[in-house]
Amino acid sequence: MATFTDNDKYVLNAIFNPNYPLDFDKEPPSSSSDSIDLENAKQSLEIKKLEEEGVRLAEQNHLIEAIEHFSRAIALNPQNPSAYNNRAQAYQLLSKTDEAMVDLSTAIDLTSNGKNNQKILSLALTQRGVLHRLLGDEKASLDDFTQAAELGSAFAKQQILLLNPYAAACNQMLSKMMKKMSCTS
């Protein structure tokens, strides 16, 4: 196991606690929580590496191995919504809809009360909306897409239009009118 100097701890603390005031002229502050912060930093790095490797494996269509990496990341931190969201994508690619739905709901639950994970919340809601639509639950799909659209998902906004028959009819009429106008000018 590597030994960390006070300077190493100071640098890691600066990376993982960016809001911490830095004063380079003074000795790095030490406290009894340094070892806890260092362990948290190590764990965060390990989780990030597991997720990155899981994504890489999924992109190479090694989905079982990807799921194993995401599961290990979840075991290290069960409160990490990103790992659930990523694992759900791998489950979807394996047509394991039930497992994907559980992971997406968990990711949504973990992110719903905080503002730090709105991107993950938007992605999870969008994915779950797609699954609901696949399963024929148009209302639940529309609810998820609406929430994701409010968080800025362009895909979710598009899906809302497709699910809304009135909006789809208006878009179709508008498109026809624009074509007629462009032909006459």
Convert the pLDDT of each residue in 136-154 to its tens digit: 999 999 999 999 999 998 9
CA-CA distance, 33 to 24, in Å (whole number)?
20
CB-neighbour burial class of residue 93 (10 A; exposed 0-12, middle 13-18, buried 19+): middle
CA-CA distance, 136 to 88, in Å (whole number)?
19
Which pLDDT band holds residue 14 (cuts at 50, 70, 90)?
low
Average pLDDT over residues 7-22: 55
Q: Which residue has the tokens 């024929």?
A: 136
Domain boundaries, the chain: 9-20+39-184
86: left (phi over 0), alpha (psi -120 to 50) or beta: alpha
pTM of this prediction?
0.68
Which pLDDT band holds residue 23 (cuts at 50, 70, 90)?
very low
CA-CA distance, 87 to 96, in Å (whole number)?
11
Tell me the per-residue pLDDT of 79-138, one tens digit each, with 9 for 90 and over: 999 999 999 999 999 999 999 999 999 999 999 776 668 899 999 999 999 999 999 999
CB 117 within 8 Å of CB 111: yes
Can you give the pLDDT at residue 177?
A: 78
| 31 pLDDT higher than 70 | no
Average pLDDT over residues 52-60: 94
The residues, any chain, with a CB within 8 Å of residue 87's CB and separated by 6 or more, are 54, 66, 67, 70, 71, 74, 103
What superfamily would CATH give domain 9-20+39-184?
Tetratricopeptide repeat domain (1.25.40.10)
50 compared with 38, residue with greater pLDDT: 50
CA-CA distance, 67 to 58, in Å (whole number)?
8
Which pLDDT band holds residue 24 (cuts at 50, 70, 90)?
very low
The residues, any chain, with a CB within 8 Å of residue 124's CB and separated by 6 or more, are 81, 84, 85, 88, 104, 107, 108, 111
